[in-house]
């Protein structure tokens, strides 16, 4: 399938990209090649091909959800770089107006 320069411009516009004429010509060739390859793959006969193993055939290994006592703030805050009482102290990321 041949991609026109106008189609490349439309795709670039949708992706909010600016491309020059040299890049546009290169992208026309590359995208056309990708679509030609995809067209070839669409016509491959895979009727008798056995699926290979992969992530699609895996099952999650789940553990039982058990209630455990909290280790407490002494343990959970032991490695905190900054803390106050039973809380983590983190840098302010939102500035309030007027401050």
DSSP string over 23-83: HHHHHHHHHHHHHHHHHHHHT---TTPPPPP-GGG---------------HHHHTTT-SSE
Domain count, the chain: 1
How far, rounded to the nearest angstrom, does the alpha carbon of residue 11 sit from its chain's CA centroid? Answer: 20
Q: pLDDT of 80-94, one tens digit each?
A: 999 999 999 998 888
Residue 59's pLDDT is what? 77
Is 36 a member of any domain? yes
**Is the whole model's pTM more than 0.75, yes or no?**
no
Specify the CATH number for the domain of residue 29: 1.10.20
Is 16 a member of any domain? yes
| pLDDT tens per residue across all 99 residues of the chain | 889 999 999 999 999 999 998 899 999 999 999 999 999 999 999 888 887 766 666 778 888 999 999 999 989 999 999 999 999 999 888 887 876
Residue 99's pLDDT is what? 66
Is 55 a member of any domain? no
């Amino acid at each position: 399938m041949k991609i026109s320069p106008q189609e490349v411009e439309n795709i670039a516009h949708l992706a909010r990209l600016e491309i020059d004429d040299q890049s546009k010509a290169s992208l026309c060739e590359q995208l056309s090649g990708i679509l030609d390859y995809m067209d070839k793959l669409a016509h491959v006969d895979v009727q008798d091909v056995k699926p290979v193993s992969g992530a699609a055939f895996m099952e999650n290994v789940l553990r039982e959800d058990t209630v455990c006592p909290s280790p407490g703030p002494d343990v959970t805050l032991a490695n905190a770089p900054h803390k106050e009482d039973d809380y983590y102290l983190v840098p302010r990321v939102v500035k309030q107006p007027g401050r």
